[in-house]
Amino acid sequence: MENEYRRGYDLPITEKKWEFWLSLVIYPLFTLWLESQIRDMSLDGSVWLLRGFHLWLILFVALEFINCFGELHLVSEGIAITLFGKTLRRFPREKIRFLGGVRYSRKSREYRWICVCDHSMEELAEEQERKTPKMFRNSRTRTGWAEDMAGKYLIRYVVSMRRQLGFPRKDILLIEWSPERLRMIQDMYPGVPWTDLTDKKVLDAERKI
């Protein structure tokens, strides 16, 4: 349960703590199996390959550990992420310019995020436009063009290897979706635009239930 204080809200980074404990069982077992396969094949450079897998495993468990035991703080000065009282990241209030809701599916699992951005929706759309080859660009006169392009831009970041490896961008902060969390953010930072960027506005639909 979230604890509400006079100056803001303190809440866990994720409510899905079971994923951390599951990962501690599955990924080490997978790594051990992979090690045995590589050793059996006697591949050149297998030692470095194994070290790479070990490094990946340590990094993955560390990131899951932060997600499991870290805290998210919504205060008047901005948003902060801490682990056992140590601040790992800050997102100042003056940089909170846009809130975008996105979702994507991977391996039969669905992920939903509130994207806190230091850019307006229009700026995100323009950036996505620049990164899209001309032959695949949609007309700017199309209804919902900015929402569509901004959504694609944020999804591209969400699934990026950079983020998966624990190197988040300074101008985008991902917060696990829930209607309650969005309400808290809007309560702390009134006036920041919110747009549900999902195809069928499924996040807005949850807010109305």
Mean pLDDT of 88-106: 95
Mean pLDDT of 111-126: 96
Backbone angles phi, psi at 103, to 5 degrees: -150, 155
Q: How many CB atoms lie within 10 A of CB 188?
A: 18
Q: Is 133 left (phi over 0), alpha (psi -120 to 50) or beta?
A: beta
Edge to edge, the sheet with strand 172-176 lists: 172-176, 109-117, 98-106, 194-196
Residue 6: pLDDT band (50, 70, 90) is very low
Examine the pLDDT at 71 and tell me if it is beyond 60: yes
Q: How many residues does the chain have?
A: 209
Decide which of 44 and 57 is more confident: 57
Residue 1: pLDDT band (50, 70, 90) is very low
Rounded Cα–Cα distance for residues 98 and 15 (Å): 24
Which range, 13-22, 94-103, 108-117, 137-146, has the best average confidence (pLDDT)? 94-103
pLDDT, tens digit, for every residue of 131-144? 998 888 888 888 89
Longest CA–CA span in the chain (Å) reads 61
User: Do the bridges between strand 78-83 and strand 98-106 make them parallel or antiparallel, or are there none, so unpaired?
Assistant: unpaired
The confidence score (pLDDT) of residue 63 equals 80
Examine the pLDDT at 57 and tell me if it is beyond 80: no
Which range, 17-21, 36-40, 60-64, 108-112, has the best average confidence (pLDDT)? 108-112
